[in-house]
Amino acid sequence: MPKLVIDNREVEVAAGATILDAARKLGIGIPTLCHLDGCTPSTSCMVCVVKLKNLGRVVPSCGTRAEDGMQIESETDEIRDARRAALELLLSDHPGDCLGPCQLVCPAHMDIPRMLRQIAAGHPADAAATARDALVLPATLGRICPAPCEKGCRRAQHDVGLAIRLCHRHVADAELASGVRLPTCKPATGKRVALIGAGPAGLAAAWHLLGEGHACTVFDAHPEPGGMLRYSIPAETLPRDVLDAEIAAIARLGAEFRMGMRIGRDIHLADLQKEFDAVLVASGAPKDGHAATISPEPSPPPIEVDRRTWQTSVRGLFAGGEVVHKHRMAVRAVADGAAAARSVSLYLAGLPITEPQRPFSTRLYMTTHEEMARLVAGASAAMRIDPTGGEAAGFTPDEARREAPRCLHCDCRKADVCRLRQVSAALGASPSRYHGTRRPFEQDLRHARIVYEPGKCIVCGLCLQVAERAGEPLGLALLGRGFNVRVGAPLADSMADGLRISAAECVRACPTGALAFKDE
Amino acid sequence: MAELDLTFVDRVVAEMGRRPEATIPILQALQDHYRYLPAEALRRVCDITEITPARIAGVSTFYNQFRHRPMGRHLISICHGTACHVKGSRPVHDALLRHLKITEHEDTDADGVFTVQKVACLGCCTLAPVLQIDGITYGHLTIDRLPRVLEDFLQLSATGAAAAQRERPTGSREGWGEIRIGMGSCCVARGSGGVQEALERAVERLGVRAIVKRVGCVGMCHQTPLVEVLAPGRSAAMYAQVQAEDAEAIVRRHFPAAGLGRRLRGAIERSLDVILTDEAWEPVTRYTIEVRDPPVAAFLGRQQHLATEYCGHIDPIDLDEYLAHGGFQMLEECLRKRSPAEIIETVRASGLRGRGGAGYLTGRKWEQVRAAAGSPKYIICNGDEGDPGAFMDRMILESYPYRVIEGMAIAAHAVGAEEGVFYIRAEYPLAVRRVGEALRLCKERGVIGDNLFGTGRRLNLRIMQGAGAFVCGEETALLASIEGRRGMPRLRPPYPAVEGLWAKPTLVNNVETYALVPWILRSGAAAFAAMGTGTSKGTKVFALAGKIARGGLIEVPMGVTLREIVEEIGGGIAGGKRFKAVQVGGPSGGCVPAELADTPVDYEALTAAGAIMGSGGLVVLDESDCMVDVARYFLEFTQDQSCGKCTPCRIGTRRMLDILERLVAGDGRKGDLEELEHLARFIQKASLCGLGKTAPNPVLSTLRYFRSEYEAHLEKRCPAGRCKQLVKYTISDECIGCTLCAQHCPSDAIPMTPYEKHVIDQDKCIRCDTCKQVCPVHAVCTA
């Protein structure tokens, strides 16, 4: 029974156990990619490295046997740097996007590819939920948003970008017609939040706070909610029934609107602070344009705002939307409201308020002609659909269903479960540290159930082991050597030949998006 | 396309067996036969053996030797070893492709005559730059000579003269003289074969009492073909750079022709010769050298021949001669009288450390294998010498196969192994043939086999040929290769001494290590330990090449300084240039600058200087060598040879190479040098095996000593004028208007202007270096 010390904590493990086993016994989390319980360690990714203090050597913990008297360091800067370096190298040869360029460009980070797949699959209600979850006001924004997503769409490099805005407008309109399906909120926390301002930021914040189980009351000096959406945008651009219906959904989710209430006149900030657990000021652009401070009451002194966390210098008081960040796009205000709501939620939960991280994503950046051809091969070849009734009328259900499959599906099917992505995000690895020679983006769609993207493979060989154990007649092999090594079916060209019985198991074993279910 | 005849596959399988470990030999046989690996043949192998498609696909795509598409009628292997690189193999390679009109992404000419492939190192470094066509080696290539080389080869192959050389002992006769000719691979490449035949014809025709004897490498590669004449009662004479036409004159000079008739005829002919071909004597006289000549004395003076004992004296595969020189006596004594513990103690006390690179104490390794539980135990000779710029092991295997066998047999006895494998690179066909023949003769005489010297002990040795993977020099990768798998290293521990071949205790030592064993046991540990430094005992064999006046194969006592090697033994830099650095240890080593040339040959001292002892390649660099380019060259090599398993080596070396390629192209960016250092440190720390851990050394050592050159590249300058994208070719006023450059320019960048100064059109210039090489008055300048 070897006894060893990891990060100054002693542990005893069974003979034959690895350092990784010992660390787990201590509850020390060592990240792994190429390791899978029950498989032979491949010791290839080098993300699980630790330092043997006595020998001064850095070794992979997954394959190194624990020995008596070992002194091991895991949580040190040196080891974290080494793990990050391994990840940054893996990311530098990982042609693919975790999230589609459209999604990264969208200020609210709407999962656009998912919405398009839902439309293409004939699930418009699910698509509407995807849109509303991020945009809160998808039908409204579907009429007024300048749609940066469409400019970011990779398909534009091939012919014309997807009509994303018309798509989300279409599904949202359809949902408004049949009644918005509300999301399930978390159990009530008993906390109450006052929101000052019923514009896009305030509305979005309310939606998200309600979702977190907090009660929300929205105060606004105007007679009706909507802020600039109602008072600056002409009704022919944004019909009021659309706006009303979307606000009504927020009210149905539980928001209480107290209109015609001007702060400093009808009600005082100090009172709100007493009555509510938190106050979020989202009252629109200040007249003097000084956005680093807010003056919720007509009389000074102004209150300072931390623009990264939406906190003010006053405990429990937050500020979001145009009052803090000047922007011209309503979708930015929505995104800002959501981010401020996140800070408020953290505060209410008694957690430290951190700056929100941009979602982690690798980027394919510029594609070659061949790569573009491969991407297009998996999508509808049709040109962009123009609504027959004109832009103002929007898509018919059929038009939306024909437009949506034009999406190239740039995003990764396993973005939510990819271990490379999770570990990289956790260790702060930069996906763009190196730009150099990389494998091409390739896609093998010939298997009935799974898609294989060799460029995303980290050559851990787990699928080889899984396939062999499952008794695959052909199985998989490592082909080639060095930087060009790849996993493939031997003496055949397609995964369909190599994985006849163990495809699903291989997808689950694969630590990245190299092997994924087609419909994921 | 005609259907492939697959009966050959069945025959090969019948011979090699159906087990997975036969994968590599089967593939080698198929490749020999079909000249590539047809998919149908591979499927057939899977159908009739236990080899799975996954195994055959994995293995056949791992090793460089195997091709999956058809090959031209002749294979040109162009060497990109270190010595060849610094002597311009790249421009030669480019010119060859241009000459054969082979486009990018192709490797075979349109007529299917020649296939061109790049090889890591042919181990003929003193002939650099070198190429090999179907086993015939051509050295000292220039762009200019390429067409003639191809013509010469086609002529040879048409006449069948390219057939294999014979491998049989020449024997000796009491009272007869000996005419010795070095027949290592390099010597053969320089025409020793023709000289040998000419000497034999002359001896036969003149009827003299002399034997033309093939001996191993003499080490003086710069003087080959080298002939040494020992006539009874006369002192030895040596002739350097001998040509076939010199043969008869040499024989006559030293031996009286036998028999009256013959003598008479000889006399008449001799007088005729003197009259008619007076000049013919010139070359011979000019090249006669003697050991007391200062250059020869300097070359040989510091050397001590242990691993290369009887260098230039004995026939490599004459077992009787080896026995007559005391060969195998030590093995017999060990088997009969010395216990394994005694043997191991002697090796331990000698201080011998592994000569393959890492320098682990040999005695300790033997002890570990001896003590390890498990049986059977195996013994391996690591002859997978893949370092570009190194050819020590090739030379030892070619010249002293019996010595290596003896060392191995003693080791086998000491550790308790009865089965063993010689793992030899396929790129060393002569070494494979000679060791094969030597093993056959040893078995015949009972020196190895089932009853060694009648003692009842067993030792069976066989040869396994590597298939072209540098990483197989790493012991765990080598073992994987012997087991018929991809040569991918695994994490150590467990070390092979405990879990080696087939998970059994296995002793893996390098060729030179085994070659030293008989001497140590015969002369005693103290004699060996008396040579060298505190921690580095005995001698070390080095391959000395590059920009050196006298390149060759040398064996020197440890502790000799690099300066003594370069300046005394090697005679300094060739061509009057300035000595800049010595690259020691190949891709795992580093560049020791001229200022530190007093560093002794010592494991620790070399490591401290940023290099490593390595296996013994010494490539000397002069002022015209760009250190950034040298670093890039090595990274390109390791990147190409990485097995692809672990992240640091697979991707990290690629990222280092990306940066170095940017630098030599003048596209370097701020922060590149720091990023190189960051990557280097990580790769050293976190790579799985020694190949990866040492891969950054060439970069780190050049960054350490030549950082200003890196900085110059950041400013788009190459101080050595070497980096193609950063230099400009111009013609100076020295130009005599001979038009040679214009005639040879492959891109029509030089208009033909006879008797006028020529001018290079910079837009058309592809910087192939041809004009500079052909200019008779050195009027082409690079800046």
Task: Enumerate the residues of chain A whose CB falls inside 8 A of the CB of residue B56.
Answer: 490-491
- Mean residue pLDDT across chain A: 93
Give the residue-averaged pLDDT of B569-573: 93
Q: What is the residue whose two structure tokens read 């990290």?
A: B652
Kindly state whether residues A202 and A301 are assigned to the same domain. yes
Q: Which pLDDT score, from 0 to 100, does residue B218 have?
A: 78
Q: What is the CATH number of the domain that holds A70?
A: 3.10.20.740
Task: Enumerate the residues of chain B whose CB falls inside 8 A of the CB of residue A84.
Answer: none
Short-list B44, B644, B36, B698, CA closest to A458: B644
A378 vs A325, more confident: A378
* Alpha carbons B331 and B339: distance in angstroms, whole number: 12
Distance to chain A for B434, nearest Cα, Å: 31
Q: Which pLDDT score, from 0 to 100, does residue A420 have?
A: 98
Residue of B498, B645, B649, B679 to mutate, interface with A, max A Cβ within 10 Å: B645
Q: Which of A82, A92, A483 sits opposite B685 (nearest CB)?
A: A82
Kindly state whether residues A198 and A176 are assigned to the same domain. no
Contact between chains at A60 and B55 (C-beta distance less than 8 A): no
Contact between chains at A464 and B686 (C-beta distance less than 8 A): no
pLDDT at B363 over 50: yes
* Residues of chain B contacting A, Cβ within 8 Å: 39, 42-43, 46, 52-58, 61-62, 469, 486, 490-491, 493, 639-648, 650-652, 654-655, 658-659, 678-679, 682, 685-688
Q: Which pLDDT score, from 0 to 100, does residue B272 have?
A: 37
pTM: 0.91
Q: Which pLDDT score, from 0 to 100, does residue B225 have?
A: 85
By DSSP bridging, strand A3-6 and strand A9-12 are antiparallel
Distance to chain A for B208, nearest Cα, Å: 57
Kindly state whether residues A309 and A209 are assigned to the same domain. yes
pLDDT at A103 over 70: yes
pLDDT band at A285 (very low <50, low <70, confident <90, very high): low
Q: Which pLDDT score, from 0 to 100, does residue B208 have?
A: 86
pLDDT band at B527 (very low <50, low <70, confident <90, very high): very high
pLDDT at A325 over 70: no
Distance to chain A for B721, nearest Cα, Å: 26
pLDDT at A95 over 60: yes
CB pairs < 8 Å spanning A and B: 128
Q: What is the CATH number of the domain that holds A288?
A: 3.50.50.60
Task: Enumerate the residues of chain A whose CB falls inside 8 A of the CB of residue B54.
Answer: 464, 468, 474-477, 490
pLDDT in tens, B268-282: 444 433 333 333 333
The count of domains in chain A is 4
Q: Which of B58, B658, B679 sits opposite A477 (nearest CB)?
A: B58
Kindly state whether residues A336 and A232 are assigned to the same domain. yes
CA atoms within 13 A on the CB side of A433: 23
- Mean residue pLDDT across chain B: 89
* Alpha carbons A196 and A262: distance in angstroms, whole number: 9
pLDDT at B166 over 60: no
Which residue of chain A comes nearest to B56, CA vs CA?
A490
Q: Which pLDDT score, from 0 to 100, does residue B286 have?
A: 39
Q: What DSSP string describes A14-65?
A: -TT-BHHHHHHHHT-----SS--TTSPP---S--SEEEETTTTEEEETTTSB
The one-character DSSP state at B695 is: T
Q: Which pLDDT score, from 0 to 100, does residue B239 have?
A: 85
Contact between chains at A43 and B685 (C-beta distance less than 8 A): no
Q: Which of A474, A475, A479 sits opposite B61 (nearest CB)?
A: A479
pLDDT at A184 over 80: yes
Indicate whether A333 belongs to any domain: yes
* Alpha carbons B328 and B333: distance in angstroms, whole number: 9
- Domains along chain B with CATH numbers: 7-60 (no CATH), 74-159 (3.40.30.10), 177-290 (3.40.30.10), 319-527 (3.40.50.11540), 539-714 (3.10.20.600), 728-783 (3.30.70.20)
pLDDT band at B302 (very low <50, low <70, confident <90, very high): confident
* pLDDT cut 70: percent of chain A above it: 96
Kindly state whether residues A197 and A177 are assigned to the same domain. no
pLDDT at B453 over 80: yes
Task: Enumerate the residues of chain B whose CB falls inside 8 A of the CB of residue A47.
Answer: 647
By DSSP bridging, strand B419-424 and strand B136-138 are unpaired
Q: Which of A46, A474, A491 sits opposite B647 (nearest CB)?
A: A46
- Range of weakest confidence among A193-202, A329-338, A459-468, B2-11: B2-11
Q: Which pLDDT score, from 0 to 100, does residue B265 have?
A: 52
Q: Which pLDDT score, from 0 to 100, does residue B274 have?
A: 33
* Alpha carbons B213 and B450: distance in angstroms, whole number: 32
Kindly state whether residues A293 and A232 are assigned to the same domain. yes
Indicate whether A95 belongs to any domain: no
Q: Which pLDDT score, from 0 to 100, does residue B760 have?
A: 95
Q: Which of B54, B55, B655 sits opposite A89 (nearest CB)?
A: B655
pLDDT in tens, B49-71: 999 999 999 999 999 999 999 99
Neighbours of B255 (CB within 10 A): 23
Kindly state whether residues A143 and A28 are assigned to the same domain. no
Q: Among A300, A317, A348, identify where a domain stops.
A: A348
- Spell out the residues 6+ positions from residue B444 whose beta carbon is closer than 8 angstroms to its own: none
Which residue of chain A comes nearest to B653, CA vs CA?
A483
Distance to chain B for A47, nearest Cα, Å: 9
Q: What is the CATH number of the domain that holds A175?
A: 1.10.1060.10
pLDDT at A399 over 90: yes
Give the residue-averaged pLDDT of A98-125: 96
Contact between chains at A436 and B469 (C-beta distance less than 8 A): no
Kindly state whether residues A343 and A388 are assigned to the same domain. no
Indicate whether A294 belongs to any domain: yes
Task: Enumerate the residues of chain B whose CB falls inside 8 A of the CB of residue A483.
Answer: 639, 642, 644, 650-651, 654
pLDDT at B679 over 60: yes
3-state secondary structure of B380: strand
Q: Which pLDDT score, from 0 to 100, does residue B284 have?
A: 39
Distance to chain B for A368, nearest Cα, Å: 18
Task: Enumerate the residues of chain B whose CB falls inside 8 A of the CB of residue A89.
Answer: 647-648, 651-652, 655
Indicate whether A290 belongs to any domain: yes
Distance to chain A for B525, nearest Cα, Å: 31
Task: Enumerate the residues of chain A whose CB falls inside 8 A of the CB of residue B470.
Answer: none
Task: Enumerate the residues of chain B whose CB falls inside 8 A of the CB of residue A45.
Answer: 646-647
Indicate whether A111 belongs to any domain: yes
Contact between chains at B43 and A491 (C-beta distance less than 8 A): yes
Give the residue-averaged pLDDT of A252-273: 93
pLDDT at B1 over 60: no
3-state secondary structure of B780: strand
Q: Which pLDDT score, from 0 to 100, does residue B273 have?
A: 37
Contact between chains at B644 and A481 (C-beta distance less than 8 A): yes
- Range of weakest confidence among A33-42, A270-279, A320-329, B605-614: A320-329
Q: Which of B46, B643, B651 sits opposite A89 (nearest CB)?
A: B651
pLDDT at B159 over 80: no
Contact between chains at B490 and A43 (C-beta distance less than 8 A): yes
Q: Which pLDDT score, from 0 to 100, does residue A466 have?
A: 97
Which residue of chain B comes nearest to A475, CA vs CA?
B54
Q: Which pLDDT score, from 0 to 100, does residue B277 have?
A: 31
Q: Which pLDDT score, from 0 to 100, does residue B562 have?
A: 96
pLDDT in tens, B589-645: 999 999 999 999 999 999 999 999 988 889 999 999 999 999 999 999 999 999 999
Q: Which pLDDT score, from 0 to 100, does residue B244 have?
A: 86
Q: Which pLDDT score, from 0 to 100, does residue B246 have?
A: 85
Q: Which of B469, B655, B682 sits opposite A92 (nearest CB)?
A: B655
pLDDT at B738 over 80: yes
Q: Which pLDDT score, from 0 to 100, does residue A193 have?
A: 97
Longest Cα–Cα distance of chain B, Å, equals 84
Indicate whether A422 belongs to any domain: no
pLDDT in tens, B384-409: 988 888 889 999 999 999 999 999 99
Kindly state whether residues A202 and A172 are assigned to the same domain. no
Contact between chains at B647 and A64 (C-beta distance less than 8 A): no
Kindly state whether residues A328 and A232 are assigned to the same domain. yes
pLDDT in tens, B246-296: 888 888 888 876 655 554 554 444 443 333 333 333 333 334 555 556 677
* pLDDT cut 90: percent of chain A above it: 85
Q: Which pLDDT score, from 0 to 100, does residue A20 have?
A: 97
Give the residue-averaged pLDDT of A10-33: 96
Check: CB of residue A45 under 8 Å from CB of residue A32.
Answer: yes
pLDDT band at B361 (very low <50, low <70, confident <90, very high): very high
Task: Enumerate the residues of chain A whose CB falls inside 8 A of the CB of residue B644.
Answer: 459, 478, 480-485
pLDDT in tens, B703-719: 999 999 999 999 999 99
Contact between chains at B688 and A46 (C-beta distance less than 8 A): yes
Distance to chain B for A211, nearest Cα, Å: 42
Q: What DSSP string describes B669-681?
A: -TTHHHHHHHHHH
Indicate whether A13 belongs to any domain: yes
pLDDT in tens, B456-505: 999 999 999 999 999 999 999 999 999 999 999 999 999 999 999 999 99
Contact between chains at B46 and A60 (C-beta distance less than 8 A): no
pLDDT band at A324 (very low <50, low <70, confident <90, very high): low
Q: Among A75, A109, A134, identify where a domain stops.
A: A75
Indicate whether A385 belongs to any domain: yes
Contact between chains at A89 and B56 (C-beta distance less than 8 A): no
Short-list B517, B606, B500, CA closest to B561: B606
A501: domain range? 438-517
Task: Enumerate the residues of chain B whose CB falls inside 8 A of the CB of residue A53.
Answer: none
Q: Which pLDDT score, from 0 to 100, does residue A341 have?
A: 97
Q: Which pLDDT score, from 0 to 100, does residue B259 have?
A: 56
Q: Which pLDDT score, from 0 to 100, does residue A291 have?
A: 53
Q: Tell me the residue ranges of DSSP E strands in A422-495.
A: 450-452, 477-479, 486-488
Kindly state whether residues A321 and A279 are assigned to the same domain. yes
Which residue of chain B comes nearest to A484, CA vs CA?
B644
pLDDT at B514 over 80: yes
Q: Which pLDDT score, from 0 to 100, does residue B271 have?
A: 41
Kindly state whether residues A334 and A200 are assigned to the same domain. yes
